[in-house]
Structure 1
Amino acid sequence: MIIGKVISNVVSTRKYDSLQGYKLLVIQPYYGTQERYFVAADEIGAGEGELVLVTTGEVAGQALHRKAPVDALVIGIIDSEPSI
C-alpha cells in the first residue's frame, strides 16, 4: 500500500466501458521520490489535495464492485498527516 497525495483528476472523453463510474486521480507518493506520479481509480470520493491510501497490483482489481482493468485503487482517505 502507498500513502499519496491527490494532485489532480484525469479527464478523458472516452474510457473503457468497465471504468465508467470510477473517478481517475493522479497520485503523488507521500514518501520517497516526489517525481513519480501514477493514476489510481477512486470510488470513495477523494479530492484534490487529500492524502489517500492506495493499494496496487492484482489486489486492486479484486477490491472493486465490478471487474475493471485497474492496478491502483484508492481505498481510504487519511484524516491527518502521518508523523514519523
Structure 2
Amino acid sequence: MQLAEVLGQVVSTVKEPGLEGLTLLLVRDTEEPSGPGYVAVDVVGAGVGEIVLVATGGAARVAAGAAIPTDRAVVAIADTVIRSGAVTYSKS
C-alpha cells in the first residue's frame, strides 16, 4: 500500500459493467509529488486534496469487490501521517 494525494476525478460514461456506480480518482504518490498521476477506484468517498491509502494488485480487487477489474483502489482516507515521530500531514 502507498500514500497518495487525490488530484481529481476521472469521469467515464462508458466503462466495464463491474465499475458502474464506482468513482474513479486521479491520484499521485506522496513520495513523488512531481511524478505522474494514476487512476484508482474509490471505495471510501475521498475528495480532492485528501491524502489516501492506495491498495494495489489483488488487495485492490478484494477491496473493490473481487469481480472488479482494477489494479489500484483507494481504501482509506488519512487523518494524520506521522514520520519519524513528527506529524507530516494532518487533515484540517
TM-score scaled by length of structure 1: 0.88
Unaligned runs of 5+ in 2: 85-92
The alpha carbon displacement at 1:80 in A equals 2.4
Q: 2:83 is paired with a residue of what secondary structure?
A: coil
In structure 2, C-alpha distance between the alignment counterparts of 1:30 and 1:55, rounded to whole Å: 14
Instruction: Kindly name which structure, 1 or 2, has the bigger radius of gyration based on alpha carbons.
Output: 2
TM-score scaled by length of structure 2: 0.81
Unaligned runs of 5+ in 1: none
Greater relative CO (CA pairs within 8 A, separation 6+): 1
Q: Please list, as runs of the form range in 1=range in 2, the aligned pairs for 1:4-43 lying within 5 A after superposition.
A: 4-32=4-32, 34-43=34-43
In structure 2, C-alpha distance between the alignment counterparts of 1:70 and 1:76, rounded to whole Å: 16
Judge which range, 15-24 or 65-74, deviates more: 65-74
Cα gap change, 1:26/1:82 in structure 2, threshold over 3 Å: closer, same or farther?
farther
